[in-house]
């Protein structure tokens, strides 16, 4: 059985959506499991989860609700209809129906501004609002567990849900093995939550300027967290010029390019059939490329991941500081 020594977290991220994260993450998980690694797959996209589809999971063994902070409500008997709450609320959550004031729980952010502004103190908070579920399949067809999250539409905290999902995955994994995290697209709270605590990141790009732009943004985040990146270029044969630009960036930033996958119509076919490509058509060009990449990760990266991490992690801390807007001011 292949061993990693201590638990290691590898996040598959890209910035841009639709470049092949889940496809590659699923293949990686299957190959690592075949190679004898202890593994838990985590679908960290709580807003649009689809790793379970690729892995053929149609039933969950556990669904654990996750509760978030609070939502305000007005005690009607105390309300004097003074309108202070509506004026205070920056989210526009206060509505009036038939003369009665009502806080829309789907809009309310629980920021407590309205209750502070309410003269008769008629506003209370309901705690325990369900923001989503963490779902667990103890054993996929390929032998490893899959943990995923699904957020309730409109509820704002996917970051927390992703944290709970990863924590469940980590407790399942135990003292050693690989936590393979399939991140969401973008660089929002969900993705940040997917990245914290990870040592390794597999960044996926496709040969478009949009993908290169998003790659730079996600790479800045991995630099912020001190994560060692590696790059895979998907559908590379579609535009060699942009592949060149992407690889120039990678070279300048010390990101090792660990593989290139050709465009292959077998990929969408396998997605339609909801079967991983390496099962559906293992001889197809994309499957062969993905298998080689997965074998590289298994044999060259994970066997001594500390050396890999030491070699490729960002040497200088480069904190990513967002634009700060001071109250009453504009972005500086």
Partner 1 sequence: MRIAFATNRGGMDDTLADRFGRAPTFTIVDVDPESGEVRETRIVENPGARSGSGAGVKAAQALADNGVEVYVGPQPGPNAYAALQHLGIRIISMTGVTVREALRAALEQLKAQQ
List of residues contacting partner 1 (CB under 8 A): 68-69, 109-110, 131, 155-157, 159-160, 163, 189, 192, 196-197, 221, 224-226, 317, 319-322, 324
Q: What DSSP string describes 194-230?
A: HHTT-SEEEEEE-SSHHHHHHHHHHHHHHHHTTPEEE
State both tokens at 90.
Answer: 């920056």
Burial class from Cβ neighbours inside 10 Å (0-12, 13-18, 19+) for residue 327 reads exposed
- Which residue lies nearer to partner 1 by CB, 114 or 278? 114
Q: How far is the CB of 109 from partner 1 (least distance, A)?
A: 8
69 vs 262, which CB is nearer to partner 1?
Answer: 69
CB of 263 to partner 1, least distance (A): 34
Task: Name the nearest CA neighbour of 320 among 183, 225, 194.
Answer: 225
Q: Are 287 and 266 in contact (CB under 8 A)?
A: yes
Q: How far is the CB of 65 from partner 1 (least distance, A)?
A: 14
> What is the C-alpha separation between 249 and 83, in angstroms, rounded?
55
Question: Shortest distance, CB of residue 212 to partner 1, whole angstroms?
Answer: 21
Closest CB to partner 1 among residues 240, 317: 317
Cβ closest to partner 1, residue 20 vs residue 314? 314
Q: CA dist 163 to 1, 31, 138, Å?
A: 29, 26, 19
DSSP lists the bridge partners of residue 32 as: none
The CA R_g of the chain, rounded to the nearest whole Å, is: 23
Question: Smallest gap, in angstroms, from Cβ of residue 75 to partner 1?
Answer: 23
Residue with tokens 């790479």: 219
Nearer to partner 1, 193 or 270 (CB): 193
Which residue, 67 or 76, is less far from partner 1 as judged by CB? 67
Shortest spacing between CB 158 and partner 1, in angstroms: 9
Question: What is the distance between the alpha carbons of residues 93 and 299, in angstroms, rounded to a whole number?
Answer: 54
CB of 137 to partner 1, least distance (A): 24
Q: How far is the CB of 81 from partner 1 (least distance, A)?
A: 29
Q: What is the Cα–Cα distance from 287 to 278, expressed in whole angstroms?
A: 5
In 10 A of CB 48, how many CB atoms?
12
Quick check: 205 and 232 in contact, CB under 8 A?
Answer: yes
Q: Which is nearer to partner 1, 34 or 313 (by Cβ)?
A: 313
* Nearest residue (CB) to partner 1, 70 versus 292: 70
Closest listed residue to residue 166, CA positions, set 308, 278, 26, 9: 9
């Amino acid at each position: 059985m292949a061993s990693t020594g201590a638990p290691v977290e590898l996040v598959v991220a890209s910035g841009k959506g639709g470049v092949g994260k889940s496809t590659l993450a699923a293949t990686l998980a299957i190959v690592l499991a075949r190679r004898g690694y202890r593994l838990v797959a985590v679908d960290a996209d709580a807003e649009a989860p689809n790793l379970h589809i690729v892995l053929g999971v149609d039933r969950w063994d556990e669904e654990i609700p996750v509760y978030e902070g609070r939502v305000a409500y007005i005690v009607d008997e105390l309300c004097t209809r003074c309108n202070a709450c509506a004026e205070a609320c920056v989210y526009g959550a206060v509505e009036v129906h038939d003369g009665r004031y009502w806080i829309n729980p789907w809009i309310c952010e629980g920021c407590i501004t309205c209750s502070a502004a309410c003269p008769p103190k008629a506003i209370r908070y309901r705690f325990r609002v369900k923001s989503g579920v963490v779902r667990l399949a103890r054993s996929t067809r390929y032998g490893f567990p899959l943990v995923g999250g699904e957020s309730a539409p409109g509820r704002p905290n996917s970051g927390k849900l992703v944290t709970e999902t990863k924590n469940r995955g980590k407790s399942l994994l135990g003292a050693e093995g690989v936590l393979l995290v399939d991140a969401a697209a973008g660089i929002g709270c969900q993705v940040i939550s997917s990245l914290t605590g990870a040592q390794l990141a597999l960044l996926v790009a496709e040969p478009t300027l949009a993908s290169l732009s998003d790659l730079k943004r996600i790479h800045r985040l991995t630099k912020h967290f001190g994560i060692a990146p590696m790059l895979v270029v998907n559908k590379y044969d579609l535009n060699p010029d942009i592949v060149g630009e992407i690889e120039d960036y990678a070279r300048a930033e010390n990101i090792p390019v660990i593989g290139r996958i050709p465009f292959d119509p077998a990929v969408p076919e396998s997605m339609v059939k909801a079967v991983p490509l390496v099962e559906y058509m293992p001889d197809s060009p994309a499957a062969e490329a993905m298998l080689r990449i997965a074998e590289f990760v298994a044999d060259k990266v994970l066997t001594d991941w500390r050396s890999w991490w030491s070699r490729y992690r960002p040497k200088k801390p480069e904190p990513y500081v967002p634009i700060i807007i001071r109250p009453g001011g504009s972005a500086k």
